[in-house]
Amino acid sequence: MKKNNSIRYIVSLIVVLSLIWLGNSGFFNGLLLSLGVVSVIFVVFMSHRLGIIDEESQPLHVSRRIVVYWLWLLKTLVKSNITVIKRIWKGPSSINPVVARIPISQKTEMGQAIYANSITLTPGTTTLDVEDDTMIVYALSNNAIRYLMTGDMDRRVSRLEE
């Protein structure tokens, strides 16, 4: 890893950990802020020593596009929640569980993980396994599988990898 990129990833990790600390703490007195600084420095030091600060742990190339993806995913989650609720109200006859293989176009493990997690986050679907260029997905109905087969979510995740 180049020295310049290494510094970028370290700075990115410091910023992310600091924001998480501040967001979870909610207290801004001197003692807690100093403990936060010590914690962040310790975690970054240990991560650097272990050699785990890299492009995969700090995907800076994704950060510019991730907010748009999150907004789209949130909209998809809401729509899927409504669909699942309707199926529950209609009763067992409206639920037709399906397991299917879905083709994927992601080239990196990070892209595959984002796609698999996005499917699992969507109510009514769960990613069971990732095998080479396919995912095995469980869904409450054929409609969910048909939606995944359109490739819309796959394309959006692939754009994050670019």
What single letter denotes the amino acid at residue 65? R
What's the whole-number average pLDDT of the chain?
A: 87
**Shared domain check, 80 and 35:** no
Structure tokens belonging to residue 34: 């100093």
Q: What pLDDT score was predicted for residue 25?
A: 83
**Shared domain check, 138 and 84:** yes
The answer to whether the CB of 114 falls within 8 A of the CB of 160 is yes
The residue with greater pLDDT, 26 or 36, is 36
d(CA 92, CA 146): 20
What single letter denotes the amino acid at residue 71? L
Q: What pLDDT score was predicted for residue 107?
A: 85
Q: Which of 53-57, 102-106, 132-136 has the lowest mean pLDDT?
A: 53-57
- In the chain, what is the straight-line distance between the N-terminal and C-terminal CA atoms, in Å? 19
d(CA 57, CA 10): 10
The answer to whether the CB of 94 falls within 8 A of the CB of 147 is no
Digit-coded pLDDT (tens) for 82-119: 999 999 999 988 889 999 999 999 988 888 998 999 99
**Shared domain check, 119 and 75:** yes
Q: Counting Cβ atoms within 10 Å, is residue 98 exposed (0-12), middle (13-18) or buried (19+)?
A: middle
d(CA 85, CA 100): 22
**Shared domain check, 19 and 69:** no
**Shared domain check, 154 and 108:** yes
